[in-house]
Chains A and B, each alone.
Chain A
């Protein structure tokens, strides 16, 4: 396994720029994910690493070697495609063995490696099946085994879970991460699903409009978002526009919201507050902020409340109250007192 370094990567399609000034370093054995909304340039970036498209500018360095001009077949990357892209006319063993065959590995040794790789993904009993005789989850495992068996320098995953149903997704997520850590795979993962990125990655790169917005661990991004886009995209967040007044923010509808002033950037124009940081008390005692409950959404372990502060709408998420809890009987239309630690409400640039 090697390292991966993207330096000043840029890709233009005619007049439009798909990827711009992307600098990424993935350390040995590290899993870094590219997270961003659809169309932000994640796949384009990944495909430049694999060598399917040539960057307009910038360099791709794999294991210390500049491979920018190297054709895809000569690069040591193992890619798992969103659509799996299995060879439909070859058996599972044929698919997994293809890369070894291309490397001139002899029959006996090839078979041994194929079975090892299939054992790794628990598919050794299906080696003679054709891809169309497998379920989606099994096809995905074949794609994983096929990419791993060639011992690539970097492992590339393009939305590997997007074609699986929700239940399977959570399971495969854990399996891929376990495999990646056990084998120490240097991995670049592309996803638009923040939960996937948060749970699987050592570090995340949030992209938007072809550019990198922020790089950091899941915790760093969640606790310390660089801007409103990252705050909103990673986890859920209340974003309120307004103007700063003393040590609070005056929202456009006139509510005065306490917030943390220290460390606020000069160009700050929004307040970002995580829904789980908002506390609520039933009734009003005249002090603090008062909100009307706009909706109560029961989510099982948690309950989500839509709060209306004279036109400013906030979302609060609380553990679902116990039977003896005063919040238990709150319903739409009730009035509550709300509060939060001002340190939890950050001022960010838009």
Chain B
């Protein structure tokens, strides 16, 4: 089949993306340039005032920084946790391999909201951990576990971990075992084999997994709202607040685009840096 004939295959997906993503995005872009009036809400205009406010207002600067901080630390933590698991999974030889792979997907069956509710029951002031510790007499008052950045990061990592594990193990699977053995045969200890052979060859997986996870983290909604509490703000909930609570669509749209652009920039810069670091090893 020739090239322009196979192109037909991307048509359904392409149309869907255009209709459900492209069109709303264009509308949002237009809205972000409108003016907001508390009395009449949105006024047709062509102004950059929403973007200016979003980048100069210390509150929203702070929200963006918190979002970046949470997303970056969650991504790094996820990577550190997922790599050993993915390695083990992809090097597994037993007949349980496919079962374990499916088990990896299991957490995805539990939606974010349900999962976060579970975390609340675990971490809250009257939650399982505090109750147990108090019962045992280790602490007097409850520890503050819930409504902390730590709770949000742990919660997000739990959500995105399966994506990272599966992305990484698909790539590690493609690294022949003999290549690792060859390094060992030439005198490399296990850690050196990892650093000089496995990691460089797994870089495409590290990049793909990190990009995927970073994007998911930047846009996290349910977890920061439920586990971060009212004082804790990240970008996605902030965008939603502007649209639904304040009804300031232009500002909400501007915030959304800033989130999108920052995510895109970080993704491009980060993956280029990672790829360069390990390509010529």
Contacts and interface: CB of A to CB of B under 8 A. Distances in A.
Nearest to A102: B187
B181 A85 contact: yes
A19 to B, nearest CB: 18
Interface in A65-91: 71-74, 77-79, 81-83, 85-90
A150 interface: yes
B178 interface: yes
Interface in A39-69: 50-52
Interface residues of A, number: 26
Contacts of A51: 184
B186 A89 contact: no
Nearest to B193: A73
B179 A87 contact: yes
Interface in B141-189: 176, 178-179, 181-189
Contacts of B189: 73
Contacts of B4: none
Given A89-B281, A102-B192, A83 B178 contact: yes
A89 B279 contact: yes
A146 interface: yes
Interface of B is mostly: helix
B197 A72 contact: no
Contacts of A182: none
A85 B281 contact: no
Interface string A125-162: 00000000000000000000011001000000000000
A98 B201 contact: no
B107 interface: no
B184 A73 contact: yes
Contacts of A50: 181, 185
B255 to A, nearest CB: 41
A98 B181 contact: no
B188 A73 contact: yes
B183 A87 contact: yes
A103 interface: yes
Interface string A259-292: 0000000000000000000000000000000000
Interface of A: 50-52, 71-74, 77-79, 81-83, 85-90, 98-99, 102-103, 146-147, 150
13 contacts: A52-B181, A52-B184, A73-B185, A77-B185, A81-B182, A85-B178, A85-B179, A86-B182, A88-B179, A89-B281, A99-B186, A102-B186, A150-B187
- 9 closest A-B pairs by beta carbon, nearest first, are A99-B186, A102-B187, A85-B178, A85-B182, A72-B184, A79-B185, A81-B178, A85-B179, A89-B200
